[in-house]
Amino acid sequence: MDTQSLTQLRQDLHRNPELGFQEKQTKARVASILRDLGLEVHESIGVVGILRAGSGNRAIGLRADMDALPIQETGTQPYVSQTPGVMHACGHDGHTAMLIGAAAHLAETQDFDGSVVFIFQPNEEHGLGAQAMIDEGVLSRFPVEEVYAIHNLPGAPVGQVSTCKGLICSSESLFEITLKGQGGHASMPQAGRDVITIGADVVQALQTIVARRLAPGSGAVVSITEFVADGQRNVLPGKAVLKGDARARRPEDRDAIEQFMRQIVSGIASAHGISAEVTFSTEFIETINADAPTDAVVRAANSVGLETIPDRPPMSFSEDFAHFAAAIPGCFMLLGNGTDGPNGQPLHSNNYDFNDALLPIGVSLWSALVRDRLAKVP
C-alpha cells in the first residue's frame, strides 16, 4: 500500500468517525483490508489480524485504537468529519492507518520469522476497549510474548520517537461528591445549610492533597471539573454535586488520593452538619513499559534514522493500552506529530489533525520493530 493510498484511507477514516463501541464501519473497513492483504482475520469487539512468516513460533502484538471523540470539528481541511458532533481529535484515524500500512508492508516483504498479531481495539477514550478485548480472550486465543502501541504527540517534531522504561502514562480516576444540606431563602441563609459555601470549602481542601498529603513531585493531579447545585436566583441550594478527575503515577498514590478525599469530605460535612457521599472509580490504570520491549523500540527507531528520546518524562495523560501492558510485557511510544497548524494543536482540541507525513514513518517504525523482535535466523 503506497503512501498516497494510505493517506486516502486515513482521510476517509477522518471523514467518518465513530464513537467508542460504535465503530461498526471502521471495523468492517479494517477487516476487509486485512483480508485483502492475505491476513487471517477475526472480528468481534475489535478486529484482530494475524500475519505469519517463516517457521518461528514467536509472536508479538501491535495495537492501534479506532474510536473518535464527541467533539464538533472546526477545522477547514477538505476531509473534515461528516458526522455532526463527532471527530477524530486524538489521531486514532492515523494510528489505524499506520498499522494497516505496516500490515501491508510486512505481508509483501515477509522479512521476519514468526507471527505478528495486529490488534485494532475499540473505545480507548473511555478506558474500556482493551479490557473488553482481554475479557473476550484476545490474549489467550492469540498469545503474544510482547505488545506495542504508538500514539502521536502534537508539539513534538515530526517523527520524533520518545518513550521510557517504567511508568509512561498516569492513571485516571473519576470522582463524584454529593453534598446534601438544607435549602432555604437567600435572605435567611442562617436557617439552612448552604451547600455552595460548604462545597467551596471542599474544593479548596481537595487542593491540599497534592503537596500537603502527597509529595509535590509525585506527579499527582486532583481537578474539580463540575460544580452543580439545585439553587435558584433567590433560593439557597440544598444539594450540590462536585465531579472531577484525579491522575496518579503510582497505584499507592491513587489509593492515597481516594483515602484523603474521603477523609476531607467526611470532615467538612461533619463540621457543617450535612451528609456527603463520595464515589471514586479508576477508569485507566498506570501504563508501565517493560525494559526489553522499550529497548527494542529504541533500537528500531534508531535503525530507521528517527530522532529518539529513550528516557522521556512520563505523560500526565492516561492510556487504555495500560491493560495490555499489565498483562504482557509491552512498550507504549510517542511519535511527534509536528508543531505547526492543526498538527501542533493539543490532542482533543476541535481544530487538531493527524499529520499524514507520519504515515510512512509509522509504517517504517512498525516494520523495523517486527524485524527486531522476530528476526530471521540466518
**Cα–Cα distance, 302 to 307 (Å, whole number):** 7
- pLDDT tens-digit series, residues 44-99: 999 999 999 999 999 999 999 999 999 999 999 999 999 999 999 999 999 999 99
Query: Does the active-site annotation cover 40?
Result: no
Query: Does the active-site annotation cover 124?
Result: yes
Q: What is the pTM of this model?
A: 0.91
Q: How confident is the model at residue 192 (pLDDT cuts 50, 70, 90)?
A: confident
What do you get for the CA distance between the two ends of the chain, in Å?
28
**Cα–Cα distance, 13 to 221 (Å, whole number):** 34
- pLDDT tens-digit series, residues 265-322: 999 999 999 999 999 999 999 999 999 999 999 999 999 999 999 999 999 899 999 9
From the centroid of its chain, how far is CA 122? 11
Amino acid at 7: T
The catalytically annotated residue of 18, 73, 124, 356 is 124
The 3-state DSSP class for residue 43 equals strand
Do 331 and 297 form a contact (C-beta atoms < 8 A)?
yes
Length, in residues, of the chain? 378
Do 265 and 176 form a contact (C-beta atoms < 8 A)?
no
**Cα–Cα distance, 321 to 332 (Å, whole number):** 8
Q: What is the DSSP string of 101-141?
A: HHHHHHHHH--SSEEEEEEEES-TTTT-HHHHHHHHTHHHH
| Domains, the chain, ordered by start | 3-163+305-373 (3.40.630.10), 171-284 (3.30.70.360)
The catalytically annotated residue of 67, 125, 146, 253 is 67
